[in-house]
Chain A
Amino acid sequence: MGRAIVVTSGKGGVGKTTTTANLGVSLALMGKKVCLMDLDIGLRNLDVILGLDNRIIYDIVDVASGEAKLRQALVKDKRFDSLYVLPAAQTTNKDSLTPEQVKTIVDELQQEFDYVFIDCPAGIEQGFLNAIAGADGAIVVTTPEISAVRDADRVIGLLEQHPLDDQPKLVINRIRKNMMDNGDTMDIDEITQHLGIELLGIVVDDDAVIRTSNHGEPIVMDPDNQASQGYRNIARRINGETVPLMQIDDTKESKQSFWSKLGNLFSKKD
């Protein structure tokens, strides 16, 4: 019996879908059987990030309404045999599913997979209630922006009202080290302490995340990238390993000191 984890945030654009995709691929890399469920009905894009949008035949609404079998709707990943996506419907809206239908599908998937990740839509309406219906645990994704932290706070409050088996855990995404160091954004400790839930991991902001997503190749496929390492660490923690919080290496950041620029200048001449 696998674990079902909903990835949610309240605010849009903080990286729920990217996180879902990358955690799914990381766990698949570790040899786990993983299913990713896209519940952002009407605005599906989990399949796009994974480069699987051309393989969709049926979607979750077809399964819920009984027009297709679950097995028919699952899309197998082109890289891993153990990674599957259950795509969202494009033609209807979030009200076309009920929490009971979602729960039935999640329960069925849990029989077969080690991990079921549920990609929650932004907002706290019906789509959110559907997404948390079948979940055992939740990952709350936020960024160091104040608006994202506020919405995360709201969502944690709602999760406390609809308690899941496991306490929600926090992922801080799109961290920009130089802004955090300058005090322009809240730092990791501040956010974690404010929200009062356990920190599951951090992911730095990296242009490569968007670049790779645009090619349908999740960033975790690149083992040397910092954001990729952040996701891989989170995946290992979900799998029960103890991994220390990564130190953010800022040599790749654009803001460099005068001396390091000077150093670079000389080293280029060699």
Chain B
Amino acid sequence: MKAVSLKGTKNGYELVLDEAASFTDSIAELTDLLAKLDHDYPTKRMHLDIITGNRLLNDAQRDEIHRLFANYKHLLINGISSNVITIAEAKRIRESENVHVIYQTIRNGQEFTVTGDVLFLGTIHEGGKLVTSGNIYVLGSVHGVIQAGAPNSEDKFIVGDLHTAQQIRIGEQFDIVADKQIKGSFQNVAYVNNLHILDYGKIGELKQINPKFYNRIGGVQ
């Protein structure tokens, strides 16, 4: 079994680093392989996808591969991909896609920050702040500041009764609720429209408001 094998696919070339081989062996073979390629096809421009299988390269190892390729102008790395991810990365992904159920009182002066979507069952008091990068579905009561899509994603929205809130913020847009006529209904959706202004609609209009999200949750077209 060779530590490094070059394959042609319909999309270009794949350079497969065997996950069972030691990295030193892989680098040694890769050095030879690149030298041979350079010798055989000195002018041919080749884009290579490097595939590491069930092995995750660390930054130093990636740098080493990049340094090898830097010697040859016509041999280029398309990308380095792997079948596996670190636990930290997996947690981050799960965190950002999870719907967090929050049942607590956010009091005056407290700021509660979350990554991902939030199902909010608690209470935000005047002066309290709930901030998330995702969407917010409100079943509790909001008397403070509520922010979806922090810091700047305007494709997020907030569903629920928001007429008692102090401020509604989505991405970089905000509304002072006292200055607006917002009806008290759990069917309300606050979103950013294509003029980059906060707008309000009903859950029934979700398809028009946010078609991407509508499709993701399996709404019928």
Contact = CB atoms under 8 A, between A and B. Distances in A.
B164 interface: no
Interface in B71-115: 105, 107-110
A196 B143 CA distance: 14
Contacts of A196: 105, 123
A150 interface: yes
Contacts of A157: 107-110, 128
A78 interface: no
A211 interface: no
A114 interface: no
Contacts of B123: 196
B105 A150 contact: no
A32 interface: no
Contacts of B107: 153-154, 156-157, 160
A160 B112 CA distance: 14
Binding site of B, secondary structure by majority: helix, strand, loop or mixed? loop
Contacts of B109: 153-154, 157-158
A157 B109 CA distance: 8
A154 B127 contact: yes
Interface string A169-208: 0000000000000000000000000101000000000000
Contacts of A151: 108
Contacts of A153: 107-109, 125-127
Interface residues of A, number: 10
A48 to B, nearest CB: 31
Contacts of B128: 157
A194 B128 CA distance: 13
A40 B164 CA distance: 37
Contacts of B108: 150-151, 153-154, 157
Nearest to B127: A150
A157 B110 CA distance: 7
A157 B126 CA distance: 12
Nearest to A153: B108
Contacts of B127: 150, 153-154
Contacts of B125: 153, 194
B174 to A, nearest CB: 21
A153 B108 CA distance: 6
B16 to A, nearest CB: 53
Interface of B: 105, 107-110, 123, 125-128
25 contacts: A150-B108, A150-B126, A150-B127, A151-B108, A153-B107, A153-B108, A153-B109, A153-B125, A153-B126, A153-B127, A154-B107, A154-B108, A154-B109, A154-B127, A156-B107, A157-B107, A157-B108, A157-B109, A157-B110, A157-B128, A158-B109, A160-B107, A194-B125, A196-B105, A196-B123
Which 5 pairs of residues, A with B, have the shortest CB-CB distance? A157-B107, A153-B108, A154-B108, A154-B109, A157-B110
Given A153-B127, A154-B109, 6 more contacts: A150-B126, A153-B126, A154-B127, A157-B107, A157-B108, A157-B128
